[in-house]
Amino acid sequence: MIILAATPIGNLGDASRRLIEALEAAPLVAAEDTRTAQRLFAALGIANRPRLVALHDHNEKQVAAELVERAREQDLVVLTDAGMPTVSDPGYGLVAAAAEAGVTVTAIPGPSAVLTALAVSGLPTDRFAFEGFVARKPGERSRALAALAAEPRTLVFFEAPSRVAQTLADMAGAFGADRRAAVCRELTKLHEEVARGTLAELAAWAEEGVRGEVVIVVAGAVAREVSAEDALAQVRALVAGGTRLKDAAREVAEATGLSSRDLYQAALAAR
């Protein structure tokens, strides 16, 4: 089978007993960075020396089929540098190929930067959406944030420390300067920090520079009365940004409580 193994995101003490047992027994390990995997084995005191193969963003399409076939004969443990494989990390292509080929995939759950940041953010946790890394190109970034402006769920993002200040400023422009948020850095590590405030306050705070691994958590949009005309304008704005009409109508309907079908038909009629 294929075993997706969650690894510590900072604190080595978060390595689970199951993770250690799996690594001690593994004949074959696919790792995002084989050097990082070797350091993890050493840090955990694991004497086993399995065959290590690289599985990263640049080669996953090429090696997935071969690894799936190997997993028919022996267990394959999949590691990324930190956290759960497939979550903003390599592994999705491998799992999709395994599912298609009928090869069993299981997981050893463990540390998650997404859930850890959400839990300590002080923002609602009952419904949330993980959005990964914010787009780098200004046009793509503005369209992506505009599409999320009315999202009622708490939003979780990854971001590089050098871009945190700009991202927070862009979010303040798209979501509103008073939207509540939290910047969580170096989670589970010695210098863990959670900064909370409005997007405007956090953007100003981040201007001094932010270091380490960063997760941004943003409160969802507050439900408000929206006229049919304003909702239709939101649908048309999403469509202009590249969203399919049916998806745009559904998204605005979820945020406003209006009928997705009515918005879709009104947008068609307005064309």
> Are 49 and 101 part of one and the same domain?
yes
- pLDDT score recorded for residue 209: 93
State the CATH number of the domain containing residue 209: 3.30.950.10
Instruction: Write out pLDDT tens, residues 22-36.
Output: 999 999 999 999 999
- pLDDT score recorded for residue 228: 85
* Residue 224 binned pLDDT confidence (cut-offs 50, 70, 90): low
Asked, for residue 35, whether it belongs to a domain, the answer is yes
Instruction: Please name the residues in contact with 140: beta carbons below 8 A apart, sequence gap of 6 or more.
Output: none
Domain boundary among 94, 111, 128: 111
Domain of 233, in residue numbers: 228-270
Q: Which two structure tokens, joined as six digits, stand for 79?
A: 């590691």
- pLDDT score recorded for residue 138: 87
> Are 90 and 123 part of one and the same domain?
no
Q: What is the pTM of this model?
A: 0.81
Asked, for residue 19, whether it belongs to a domain, the answer is yes
pLDDT over 90 at 8, yes or no: yes
- pLDDT score recorded for residue 231: 87
* Residue 229 binned pLDDT confidence (cut-offs 50, 70, 90): confident
> Are 264 and 167 part of one and the same domain?
no
> Are 8 and 87 part of one and the same domain?
yes
Instruction: Write out pLDDT tens, residues 246-261.
Output: 999 998 888 787 899 9
Nearest-angstrom CA–CA distance, 245 and 62: 35
> Are 118 and 162 part of one and the same domain?
yes
Asked, for residue 248, whether it belongs to a domain, the answer is yes
> Are 151 and 162 part of one and the same domain?
yes
> Are 107 and 118 part of one and the same domain?
no
> Are 94 and 156 part of one and the same domain?
no
Segment 143-147 long-range contacts (CB within 8 Å, at least 24 positions apart): 143/241, 143/242, 145/170, 145/171, 145/173, 145/174, 145/175, 146/174, 146/237, 146/238, 146/241, 147/238, 147/241, 147/243, 147/251
Instruction: Please name the residues in contact with 115: beta carbons below 8 A apart, sequence gap of 6 or more.
Output: none
Share of the chain above pLDDT 90, in %: 86
Asked, for residue 138, whether it belongs to a domain, the answer is yes
From 156-170, 175-189, 237-251, the region with the lowest mean pLDDT: 237-251
Mean pLDDT of 134-144: 91
Tally of domains in the chain: 3
Asked, for residue 32, whether it belongs to a domain, the answer is yes
Is the CB of residue 212 less than 8 Å from the CB of residue 189?
Answer: yes
Asked, for residue 223, whether it belongs to a domain, the answer is no
> Are 234 and 212 part of one and the same domain?
no
> Are 209 and 118 part of one and the same domain?
yes
Domain boundary among 96, 111, 126: 111
> Are 172 and 75 part of one and the same domain?
no
> Are 105 and 119 part of one and the same domain?
no
**Sheet hosting strand 28-31, strand order edge to edge:** 51-54, 28-31, 76-79, 2-5, 105-108
pLDDT over 80 at 223, yes or no: no
